[in-house]
Amino acid sequence: MISSSEFKINFDFIYNDEEVKKNVYLPSSDTFTFIDALENEIDNIPSDVNMVLEMGTGSGYLILSLYELLKRKNKNVDIFYCVDINKSACNCVKNVLRKNNILNVEIINNDLFNNIRKCEQFDLIVFNPPYVPTEQDEMNTTNIVASYAGGKYGREIIFKFLLNVYAYLNKSGVIYILLEKNNKPHEIMNHTHITEKFLCSLLKKKKTLNETIFIYKLKKKVS
Ligand SMILES: C[S@@+](CC[C@H](N)C(=O)[O-])C[C@H]1O[C@@H](n2cnc3c(N)ncnc32)[C@H](O)[C@@H]1O
């Protein structure tokens, strides 16, 4: 029997399936930077969590790495929700779950929070959004383009998410979100809507050849 400290998810499907390689965002340096930040945060996550949501799940690598990290620390989550606008991404996650016999993960093929009930239900929300600055004609797709197309300053989906997420987060809830330098992270975090509703802290900044990645933690302010 494998002890929880050795629990490991098998991600072979992501790298071997031709459909996934063509249509789904594969784990990249942004994904790995995000996982590093979550690993450093793991002791700050309570040991019993009801509901975790990943917005923009893609291949599932990020949320399932968090699943693995929590399991290794004997932290229990009742249920994980994975939301993605791309049907191929949802199918990919379904396959990875099946291959790993994971049952407590629900997949929702959805545009952000559309039609999801607003009842402050999530304890933890993570989002590695599409963050690349693009023209408007690349917006509103549901295919691989949706994994990067962020519109003006690459932050149109980011703002849409941040302006809606408050109603879905419980009172002690936390959001982890990735931003890139082109998004002007400082401007986003100083936007009045954000400063009124959240306490923000920068967890990690990582510079690569082409990008500078920022991982922020937002805690809900309660009045
Ligand atoms: C940068 S990729 C991140 C994928 C994965 N979470 C990771 O870290 O490797 C962004 C993901 O967000 C999804 N996405 C983009 N716009 C969305 C929207 N409006 N609603 C839900 N998901 C969206 C894309 O399909 C893509 O899978």
The full DSSP string for the chain is ---GGG-----HHHHH-HHHHHHSPPP-HHHHHHHHHHHHHGGGS-SEEEEEEEES-TTSHHHHHHHHHHHHTT-EEEEEEEEES-HHHHHHHHHHHHHTT--SEEEEE-STTTT---SS-EEEEEE----B---GGGSS--SGGGGTB--GGG-HHHHHHHHHGGGGEEEEEEEEEEEEGGG-HHHHHTSHHHHHHEEEEEEEEEE-SS-EEEEEEEEE---
66 Cβ inside 6 Å of ligand 1: no
Atom of ligand 1 nearest to the CA of 126: 6
Query: How many angstroms does the Cα of residue 55 sit away from the middle of ligand 1?
Result: 7
* Confidence (pLDDT) at 50: 94
Atom of ligand 1 nearest to the CA of 144: 25
Residue pLDDT, tens place only, 160-200: 999 999 999 999 999 999 999 999 999 999 999 999 999 99
Does pLDDT of 131 surpass 90?
Answer: yes
Percent of the chain with pLDDT over 70: 99
Residue pLDDT, tens place only, 69-111: 999 999 999 999 999 999 999 999 999 999 999 999 999 999 9
- Domains within the chain, CATH numbers bracketed: 30-220 (3.40.50.150)
64 Cβ inside 6 Å of ligand 1: no
Q: Is the pTM of this model over 0.75?
A: yes
Query: How many angstroms does the Cα of residue 42 sit away from the middle of ligand 1?
Result: 23
Does pLDDT of 1 surpass 70?
Answer: no
The mean pLDDT of 128-156, rounded to a whole number, is 98
Atom of ligand 1 nearest to the CA of 34: 8
